[in-house]
Chain A
Amino acid sequence: MMIETYQLTKIFTIKKSDDIPAVVDLTLNVREGEVFGFLGPNGAGKTTTIRMLTSLIGPTAGSARVCGYTLGADDQNIRRSVGILTESPGMYDRLSALKNLSIYASLYDVGDVEGQLRKYLQMLGLWSRRDDPVGSFSKGMRQKLAICRALLHEPRVLFLDEPTSGLDPEAARLVRTFIEELRDQGRTIFMCTHNLNEADHLCDRIGIFRTRLIEVDTPQNLRLKLFGRKVVFHLRAVDPAWLSLVGGVPGVQDVAQVENKLLVTAEDPEEINPKIIRALVDAGADVRFVGELRHSLEDIYMQTMNENHTEVAGS
């Protein structure tokens, strides 16, 4: 395991008797090579979680191990082995891109400074701008530079706090492609994001989180768990009698009609679809086409948040 947390909790105390629970009882494991997506609304405690896991702030309770090092005991080793893309890039605007990175290369005790700087600046397309002050960079360029900075020391775990927020679609795509590359290299990545498509596409597993962890699973399983698998049958016209006909097919859990479509929920559509089609055709239905209804991660997210709304608000 690259990241293991056990009942990790952070409570901020602003004034005495005024506590803000930011993260409560977070228990989570992230495997080596896994891309883990951390989803949650604003103020959910995502940044706070990353800050704890990168030894920037100490937990109020609970424990964690990152790269095999214990939080609180081996903080220096944790800092050495993780890379972090902070919420805002935080560059030294007056200094050049190269200077910014070389400061960090030195602080991270990078061996081949020149090679690493060149490698990552070229990878992210910033090599030709390396001598320009970062103050003259666009938001997307800064973000890319910050990603370079997080990678200079070849960290075993990479924490990305909203890597594509505020970027235009093209820049966001570039960053996503880059994250994909990192994933394919087998790097462990823990990323917070509000972009659900991105999470769906990039992440092996997703944790839905609001102060507490609400759900963790692969995007696929989250879909199944929340919605079952749904198949849509597009017909020329729907005879109400067909609803009970389809409902009677063994294995079908639910049938609903939406205009000229039948929405069928079943556990094993591959087995059942042929039977349903045969039944419909025998009953005289014109089946135009059949498709699986894929819920977007957004649906899943909304559903999870709604289900847990009262519980979390009350806690």
Chain B
Amino acid sequence: MKHVRTIIDKEWAEVFQNRMVLLTMIFIPVFFVILPLVTLYFTGQGMGGNSPADVADVPAEFLAVCGPDMNAGDCMQVYMVNMFLLLFMMLPVIIPVTIAAYSVVGEKTTRSLEPLLATPISTFELLAGKSLAAAIPAIVTGWGSFAIFLLGLPLIGVSPAVIRYILGPTWLLAVLVAGPLMAIAAVNFALFISSRVDDPRVAEQISVVLVVPILAALFAQLAGIIVIDIFMMLSFIGALALIDIGMIYLGVTIFQRENILTRWK
């Protein structure tokens, strides 16, 4: 455990010295908190007491999600909120990818990988240290931004019905369970790529493709093809858990001292 902590400590010491990385890690969450709040503020206004069925912009499939205690404005907000749910799920993928993608190939290019691998740290400890160093900030920022978002909701006058909806099982599962699982998958994927390529930029670009499925879900929901509900969230979490186990297994098998030191392609 001590070695894992040392690696985490080292990764953070390096990452947080890098202004660009630090800025991304602050800017993206701030943006992801402000954007929903501002949008909700404006959608909430001007849509008084019409019944939800009058809201033409909301796909029909979606109306089922709105409870009987919601008016049209509330329902519109719930619809919007579900879009932002996907944004909050994107956070734990975007944040760690920059750190993890750089993590191994970066050390290759600065030649610090060889002395590091010469120490008695076990390969698993090294992998765990590097994964955690990237996953922890992602999970913390994910949860932190969600908390700030929650605190901001009453301030912009969102109705209790909508807040109850956000604090319902779908959202909580998404932020508290799916987010960290996605962070773990993203980190392991990025580390895997990072130990296989010879250029940090390539590693980052490849790793960012992870965002594609989430964007796809976002557009599918916009188009009314899917509606994220509790059942979908549970299936998603189940799938993520399997993917995580697979990624970690793959990482441990492939992450061998000799391979990451001498294989450049």
Contact = CB atoms under 8 A, between A and B. Distances in A.
A106 B3 contact: yes
B43 to A, nearest CB: 44
A103 interface: yes
Contacts of A106: 2-3, 6
A84 B6 contact: no
Contacts of B110: 90-93
A76 B124 CA distance: 13
Nearest to B108: A90
B235 interface: no
Interface in A293-310: none
A54 interface: yes
A88 B110 CA distance: 9
A148 B111 CA distance: 17
A86 B10 contact: no
B209 to A, nearest CB: 27
Contacts of B50: none
A71 to B, nearest CB: 13
B117 to A, nearest CB: 6
> Per DSSP, are chain B's interface residues mostly helix, strand or loop, or mixed?
helix
B115 interface: yes
A107 B18 contact: no
Interface in B91-119: 107, 110-119
Given A84-B118, A107-B3, A12 B262 contact: yes
B119 A86 contact: no
A109 B111 CA distance: 22
A90 B116 CA distance: 9
Contact of A107 (B107, B113, B121, B262): B121
A57 interface: yes
A104 B122 CA distance: 14
Interface string A216-256: 00000000000000000000000000000000000000000
B2 A95 contact: no
A31 interface: no
B14 A95 contact: yes
Given A57-B258, A107-B6, A86 B115 contact: yes
A108 B14 contact: no
Contacts of B116: 90, 107
Nearest to B6: A106
Given A92-B112, A94-B17, A95-B14, A56 B6 contact: no
A10 B261 CA distance: 15
A245 to B, nearest CB: 62
A149 interface: yes
A109 to B, nearest CB: 7
Contacts of A79: 118-120
A99 interface: yes
A131 B14 CA distance: 15
Given A103-B6, A107-B3, A56 B18 contact: no
A287 to B, nearest CB: 58
A80 interface: yes
A58 interface: yes
Contact of B262 (A57, A87, A99): A57
Given A92-B112, A94-B17, A108 B262 contact: no
Nearest to B264: A14
Given A86-B111, A94-B17, A56 B122 contact: no
Contacts of B258: 56-58
A54 B14 contact: no
Contacts of B18: 94
Contacts of A88: 111
Interface string B1-45: 011001001100110011000000000000000000000000000
A146 interface: yes
Interface string B111-146: 111111111111000000000000000000000000
A86 B113 CA distance: 10
B96 to A, nearest CB: 19
10 contacts: A55-B257, A79-B120, A80-B120, A86-B114, A86-B118, A92-B112, A95-B13, A99-B13, A103-B6, A104-B115
Q: Which 6 pairs show the lowest CB-CB distances between chains A and B?
A: A90-B111, A90-B112, A107-B119, A94-B17, A106-B6, A79-B120
Given A106-B2, A106-B3, 17 more contacts: A12-B262, A51-B114, A54-B118, A55-B257, A57-B257, A79-B120, A84-B115, A88-B111, A90-B112, A90-B113, A92-B13, A94-B13, A94-B17, A99-B13, A107-B3, A107-B120, A107-B121
